């Protein structure tokens, strides 16, 4: 049932309908839509939820975490890519089950992904192996510290919300690079917005986009 190509609710046709909905919601970058169409999301969700893998919704992935909504993944990547050919060297904070990392891999030269929950990192490893995506380099750690050994990055994307910009991540952004994150608190429901930071020679430029809802960025590892 979890076969790569899938049948019925996990088929390529079902996936294409999901991409069509994402397009209808306003994502126009063909490169992003093609990447979304190429990643079999049903491989990344629990087997019991595979029939819902191509609904455009967030789904639980255990440990109180969620696999992100495809539209939001696409929207963040589109805003990161705007006017650029590639995401270059990318860092994802909060790999979860690896879905977004797999999408990023199709649009980047290099991808690093950090996850603080060891059990989820193992799932990511397994899922990426299943779809034969070997480009993503995974690290178990607290992503708030970034990945100094691989910095600087052209792209940094956070899959968890924080009320403050993590200083270490700003420092690991290359000049001309971009960071995307859900900015805001989690307790204050509905108070998060997508925030894009661009590192310019004269400093950091911040642009706010859609209201979103993400799980919180937490400290430490487990
Ligand atoms: N990128 C995933 C979404 C995962 S949800 C997808 O494609 O669907 C957000 C993830 O961020 C969770 O797995 C959570 O454990 C992780 N996370 C939260 N705080 C973190 C931190 N400080 N460092 C690394 N990962 C973190």
CA of 160 to the centre of ligand 1 (A): 6
Which residue's CA is the closest to the ligand 1 atom numbered 6? 67
116 ligand 1 Cβ < 6 A: yes
| Prior bond of 145 cis (ω within 30°) | no
Q: What per-residue confidence (pLDDT) applies to 1?
A: 45
Q: Whose CA is nearest to atom 26 of ligand 1?
A: 94
Distance CA 177, CA 199 (A): 6
Q: In angstroms, rounded to a whole number, what is the distance separating the alpha carbons of residues 78 and 107?
A: 10
Distance CA 55, CA 131 (A): 20
Q: How far apart are CA 38 and CA 33, in angstroms?
A: 9
Rg of the chain over CA atoms, in angstroms? Answer: 16
Q: Which of 55, 160, 220 to mutate to test the pocket of ligand 1 (most atoms within 8 A of CB)?
A: 160
Q: How far is Cα 67 from Cα 119, in angstroms, rounded to an integer? A: 15
Whole-angstrom distance, CA of residue 102 vs CA of residue 100: 5
3-class SS letters over 44-103: CCCHHHHHHCCCCCCEEEECCEEECCHHHHHHHHHHHHCCCCCCCEEEEECCCCCHHHHH
CA 172 to chain centre: 18
104 lines ligand 1 (CB under 6 A): no
Å from CA of 3 to ligand 1 middle: 25
pLDDT of res. 81 = 98
Instruction: Using the mean position of ligand 1's atoms as its centre, give its distance from the Cα of residue 214 in Å.
Output: 9
- For ligand 1, atom 8: residue with the closest CA: 67
| 102, 131 Cβ separation under 8 angstroms | yes
List the pLDDT tens digit at each of the 222 positions of the chain. 446 777 777 788 889 999 999 999 999 999 999 999 999 999 999 889 999 999 999 999 999 999 999 999 999 999 999 999 999 999 999 999 999 999 999 999 999 999 999 999 999 999 999 999 999 999 999 999 999 999 999 999 999 999 999 999 999 999 999 999 999 987 766 589 999 999 999 999 999 999 999 999 999 999
Task: Give the Å distance between the CA of 84 and the centre of ligand 1.
Answer: 26
d(Cα 109, Cα 107) in Å, to the nearest integer?
Answer: 7
For residue 112 and ligand 1, the question of a CB distance below 6 A is answered with no
The owner of tokens 């792209």 is: 155
Residue 108 annotated to the active site: no
């Amino acid at each position: 049932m979890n076969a790569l190509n899938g049948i019925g609710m996990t088929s390529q046709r079902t996936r294409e309908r999901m991409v069509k909905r994402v397009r209808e919601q306003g994502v126009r970058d063909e490169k992003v839509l093609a990447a979304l169409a190429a990643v079999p999301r049903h491989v990344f969700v629990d087997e019991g939820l595979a029939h819902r893998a191509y609904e455009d919704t967030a789904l639980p992935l255990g440990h109180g975490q969620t696999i992100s909504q495809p539209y939001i993944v696409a929207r963040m990547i589109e805003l990161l890519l705007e006017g650029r050919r590639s995401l270059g060297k990318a860092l994802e904070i909060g790999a979860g089950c690896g879905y977004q990392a797999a999408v990023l891999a199709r649009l980047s030269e290099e991808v690093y992904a950090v996850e603080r929950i060891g059990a989820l990192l193992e799932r990511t490893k397994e899922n990426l192996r299943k779809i034969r995506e070997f480009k993503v380099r995974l690290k178990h750690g607290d992503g708030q510290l970034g990945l100094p050994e691989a910095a600087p990055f052209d792209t940094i994307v956070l899959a968890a919300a924080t009320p403050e910009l993590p200083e270490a991540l700003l420092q690991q952004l290359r000049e001309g690079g971009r960071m995307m994150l859900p900015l805001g608190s989690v307790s204050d429901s509905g108070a998060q917005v997508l925030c894009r930071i661009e590192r310019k020679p004269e400093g950091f430029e911040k642009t706010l986009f859609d209201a979103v809802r993400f799980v919180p960025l937490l400290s430490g590892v487990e």
